[in-house]
Amino acid sequence: MKLYSLIIAGVFWFFATVSVQAQSETAYLENIQAADQQLLLENFSSAQKLYNQAKSYAHNANEKSYVHYKLGTVYLRLNEKLKARQEWKNALDILDREGDNSGIRFHLKQALANSGM
């Protein structure tokens, strides 16, 4: 009976964990999509807020670096070049520490090179 209870508890824990991860991924995507839309509409403060919210839901290097890349874009559009560069550097640091995505790395390096600083 104890073994059966442990197995049932393990199954419930597994599905609860999967459910929380799925909710977190959904929240990440919802924030990113809304932020991208606000960026396109040039509502920079709203985009900044949504990207910052998305940071707390980002789980892997690609998601984290994307958020920093987009925040850098927001800061650049606000003419805050130092903040933009710092966000892009943060993204590259994440990729160096946690894993690499050559696509986003390329864009980050281009953004840094084109920022003229």
The pLDDT of residue 33 is 96
Query: Is-contact 66 87, C-beta < 8 A?
Result: no
pTM of the model: 0.76
- Residue 31 confidence (pLDDT): 95
Q: Residue 42 corresponds to which amino acid?
A: E
Domain covering 2-114: architecture: Alpha Horseshoe (1.25)
If pLDDT is split at 50, 70 and 90, which confidence band does 115 have? confident
**In this structure, what token pair is assigned to residue 111?**
């953004």
Q: Would you place residue 1 in the very low, low, confident or very high pLDDT band (cuts 50, 70, 90)? A: low
Task: Report H helices in the chain.
Answer: 2-40, 44-55, 61-77, 81-98, 102-114
| Orientation angle between helical segments 61-77 and 102-114, nearest 10 degrees | 20
With a cut of 90, say whether residue 13 has pLDDT above it: no
pLDDT on residue 27: 92
Which range among 15-29, 40-54, 86-100 shows the weakest confidence by mean pLDDT?
A: 15-29
C-alpha torsion 109→111→113→116, nearest 10: -160
Q: How far is CA 34 from CA 20, 71, 74, 99, in A?
A: 21, 13, 14, 26
